[in-house]
């Protein structure tokens, strides 16, 4: 389960209080990944400080992703600004994408009935 709370420490404490075991802390989302007994899920979701409880699952890559990971620039259409050996691109700022993989407000990412807890505001 992914448990999001008012802080990662709070999430870890609540998981421990209901008999769960912590797998990993995610301070960037104020949460943790944990194994929680099924019988404790309602108690966990209703605990003070807990904002969301959702399934932790494997991400399936898009069928649009290139087979060769070195072709991603062409696949997303950045070749024109990326440059080449013969025609280097102009200096540009660095761009980074950070994806925690968790967004409790995107309930449609999960199958119906797989999410319990409250929506983050």
pLDDT score at 93 = 63
Q: Give Dmax over CA atoms of the chain in angstroms.
A: 63
Instruction: Judge whether 114 lies within some domain.
Output: no
Instruction: Judge whether 115 lies within some domain.
Output: no
Instruction: Judge whether 121 lies within some domain.
Output: no
- Is the per-residue pLDDT at 67 higher than 80? no
Instruction: Judge whether 12 lies within some domain.
Output: yes
- Cβ burial of 10 (10 Å; 0-12, 13-18, 19+) is buried
Q: How many domains does the chain have?
A: 1
What domain range includes position 20? 2-57+69-109
73 vs 47: CA distance, rounded Å: 45
Instruction: Judge whether 81 lies within some domain.
Output: yes
pTM of the model: 0.52
Of all residues in the chain, the percent with pLDDT exceeding 90 is 42
Note the residue count of the chain. 121
- Mean pLDDT of the 14-28 span: 94
C-alpha pair distances (Å), 74 with each of 57, 60, 83: 29, 21, 11
pLDDT score at 94 = 65
Higher pLDDT, 68 or 46: 46
Beta carbons of 102 and 4 less than 8 angstroms apart: yes
Residue range 72-91, pLDDT digits in tens: 666 676 766 666 677 777 66
90 vs 43: CA distance, rounded Å: 56
**98: Cβ–Cβ under 8 A, 6 or more apart, which residues?**
28
Instruction: Judge whether 20 lies within some domain.
Output: yes
Instruction: Judge whether 15 lies within some domain.
Output: yes
pLDDT score at 116 = 47
């Amino acid at each position: 389960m992914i448990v999001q709370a008012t802080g990662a420490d709070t999430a870890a404490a609540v998981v421990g209080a209901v008999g769960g075991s912590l797998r990993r802390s995610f301070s960037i989302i104020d949460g943790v990944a944990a194994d929680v007994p099924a019988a404790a899920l309602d108690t966990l979701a209703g605990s003070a400080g807990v904002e969301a409880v959702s399934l932790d699952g494997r991400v399936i890559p898009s069928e649009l992703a290139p087979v060769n990971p070195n072709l991603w620039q062409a696949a997303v259409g950045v070749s024109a600004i990326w440059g080449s050996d013969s025609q280097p691109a102009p200096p540009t700022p660095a761009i980074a994408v950070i994806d925690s993989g968790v967004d409790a407000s995107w309930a449609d990412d999960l199958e119906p009935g797989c999410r319990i807890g409250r929506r983050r505001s």
